[in-house]
Amino acid sequence: MARFEVPDGWQVQAYRFALDLTPAQVSAMESHCGGARFAFNHMLSHVKSVMDQRSAERSYGLDGDELTPPVGWSLASLRKVWNGRKDAVAPWWAENSKEAYNSGLDALARGLDAWSKSRSGHRGGAAVGFPRFKTRARAGKSVRFTTGAIRVEADRHHVTLPRLGRIRTHESTRKLARRVEIDTARILSATVRFAGGRWLCSFQVLAQRAIGARPAHIAGSAYPVVGVDVGVKDLLVVAAPDGTEVARVPAPRPLRVAQDRLRALQRRAARQHGPYDPVTDTRRQPSKRWQRTQARIGRVHAHVAAVRRDALAKATTALAQQHQVITVETLFAAGMRSKGGARKRGLNRALGDAALAEIRRMLGYKTVWYGSELVAAPRFYPSSKTCSACGGRKPNLTLAERTYVCEHCGLAIDRDLGAAINLARLGDTRTGETGTGTGSGPAAHQQGGKGRGANQKTRPAHAGTAGGCEASTRHNTTSGVGQTGTASPQGEAT
C-alpha cells in the first residue's frame, strides 16, 4: 500500500480539546483503553512464546521449515493473528470499537520495529529495548480512532467518536469546525488520552494553507534576519546581524515555581498508604487518600506543562510572524542532561524545565505557516565561544561566565547576546542569494557586503570543544577555567 502523501498547499496539523465526559462515557473510555492494553499484552505474549519456541527448537538441531512458523511484526500481520484469536481470548471484544484493539496492536508493531532496527544498527540514538508488558497502574490511557464517525458537531461544543457517541467539550471547537465547513480542513484521525486529570481529544487534520507566501508585514520587518540563542535563564535572546538586541524573553521556569507545592504533596503521598511495602516487598492496595494525592500531583505537573507550552508557543509565533530568516542552534537536549550525576542535578532540572528542544520544533512548522525561513546552525557551531567583534575563539568558557570578555580585542558583551549575534550572521551569510554578509564588527550593516562573519573565522569542522563538557561544568568552577577534551554530541548549553 502506498504511503499517504500530503497534497501541495496542505499541511497536517492537530487540534486538541478537553472533553467533559459523563460517568457512563468515562467507563466506556476506560474500557476502550483497557482493550488496547489487553490486545498489546496478549499479542506481545504470543510473539515472545513463538520466539522462545523457535530458539528452543534450534537448540535441538532443527532448522528451516522444521521450526515453528514465525509471527509477522507488521500491523497487518499482528491484526490478522488477533482476529483469529480474539473470540477465544477476549469474548467481550465487541463491546468496544475495533479501533481500540488496533491502537494496541499498532503500538506493539512500532515497538517491535524500533527494537529490531536499533538492534541491527539501522536506527540512531539510544538503544531501544524489547517491548514490555503494560500494566494498568503504569501504562498511559490512550486510544486512536481512524475510521468510523469522527467529526466535530455544528453546535461548536460537541465531538462524535466511534462507539462513544456524542461527547461534550470544555472549550469551543469553532476553529476546527469552521475550517471543516468551508472544506479547508479534513479530519484524518482522533486520539483520546488521559493526562493531568483530564480526558483530551486530539484531531489530526489535513489543513489547507497558503504555504510559501511571505506576508507583507514580514517583508517589511525592521529586522528581517535574526539569531536566537536559547537558555535556562533567558528563554530567548534575539539579535540582529548588526549587533542590535531585538528581544529578550525571560524563562517562565514553571517547574521551579511549583517545586514547593510538589515537594509538600510528594511527602504527603510518601506518608500515606501507597501501592508498595518496602519491608515485605509486596504490593499493597492503595488507599483513597494516596490516590487523591497522586491525582493532585498529576494536576500540578499538568499545569506546569501548560504554562511552559504557552510561553514557548507565544514566543515562537512572534518570531515566525515578525522576521524573514531565523537562525537557531542545534542542541542535543537529551545529551546535555545525560552527564554530571548528583552534582549537576540542579542544571539538569533547569534544562528540562526550559524545554530547549521544543523551540526549534515549533519554529520548524510555524516558519512554514507564516512564510519565514528557519536556518539551523551546525551542532558544534561555537556561537557562545566566538567573539562577535573580531571572530576570535575562547575555548575555555564555563557556564559561570555570563559576560563574554574577548582575550583578543577586549570586547565585553553579554554571553547570550553575543551568541545570538553570531547566529544571526550565520543565517545572513547562508541565506543571501548573492552571498550577503555583515562583516565581523557589531556595527556592520546587514547589507554591507560579504565580510568575514563569525562562520568564516571558525568553521563547524574545526569546532573542537565547542560543545562537549560545557553542559557538565561544575557550578563552583572559577571564571576562565573550563574543561578540555574531545567534542561530545551535546552541543552548547547557555
- On whether both 149 and 234 belong to a single domain, the answer is no
Cell of 259: 517545586
**Is 107 in the same domain as 202?**
no
Q: What is the mean pLDDT of residues 468-485?
A: 35
352 shares a domain with 248: yes
443 and 344: one domain? Answer: yes
Q: Give the three cell numbers for residue 251.
A: 524563562
Identify whether residues 442 and 461 lie together within a single domain: yes
| Spatial CA neighbour of 321 closest among 248, 247, 249, 372 | 372
Answer whether residue 349 is part of any domain. yes
Reported as a pLDDT band with limits 50, 70 and 90, residue 431 is: low
The residues annotated as belonging to the active site are 229, 329, 416
Q: Look over the chain and give the mean of its residue pLDDT values, rounded to a whole number.
A: 81
Q: Say if CB 171 and CB 198 are below 8 A apart.
A: no
pLDDT at 194 over 80: yes
Q: Within this chain, do residues 109 and 183 fall inside the same structural domain, yes or no?
A: no
Whether 310 and 389 map to the same domain: the answer is yes
When pLDDT is cut at 50, 70 and 90, the band that residue 176 belongs to is: very high
Q: Provide the pLDDT confidence category of residue 469 given band limits of 50, 70 and 90.
A: very low
Q: Which of 208, 224, 244 is the last residue of a domain?
A: 208
Grid cell listed for 479:
571564571
Same domain? 111 vs 152: no
- Claim to verify: residue 434 and residue 397 sit in the same structural domain: yes
On whether residue 417 sits in a domain, the answer given is yes
Same domain, 388 and 463: yes
For residue 263, is pLDDT > 50?
yes
In this predicted structure, the answer to whether residue 273 has a pLDDT above a threshold of 80 is no
Is 70 exceeded by the pLDDT of residue 436?
A: no
Q: How confident is the model at residue 445 (pLDDT cuts 50, 70, 90)?
A: very low
Length of the chain: 494
Number of domains into which the chain is organized: 3
Residue 487 lies inside a defined structural domain of this protein: no
Residue 424 CA to residue 238 CA, distance in Å, equals 9
Residue 131 placed within a domain = no
Calculate the dihedral angle through the C-alpha atoms of 445, 449, 450, 452, rounding to the nearest 10 degrees: -50
- The radius of gyration of the chain's CA atoms, rounded to the nearest angstrom, is 27
CA-based torsion, 203, 208, 211, 216: positive or negative: negative
pLDDT value of residue 2: 57
132: in domain: no
Closest residue by Cα to residue 325 from 240, 439, 257:
240
452, part of any domain: yes
**Domain span including residue 184:** 10-24+141-208
Q: What is the pLDDT of residues 212-223, one digit of tens each?
A: 555 555 656 788
Of the candidate ranges 69-83, 101-115, 230-244, 337-351, the one whose mean pLDDT is the lowest: 337-351
Q: Strands 234-239 and 225-230, how do they pair?
A: antiparallel
- Put the strands of the sheet holding 225-230 in their side by side order: 245-250, 234-239, 225-230, 325-328, 373-376
Share of the chain above pLDDT 90, in %: 46
233 and 370 within one domain: yes
In a domain, 284, yes or no: no
Q: What is the pLDDT of residues 213-256, one digit of tens each?
A: 555 556 567 888 999 989 888 889 999 998 888 889 998 999 99
**pLDDT tens track for 4-60:** 788 888 888 899 999 999 999 999 999 999 999 999 999 999 999 999 999 998 888
Specify whether 351 is located in the same domain as 443: yes
Cβ-in-10-Å burial (0-12, 13-18, 19+) of 461 comes to: exposed
Look at residue 302 and tell me if it is in a domain: yes
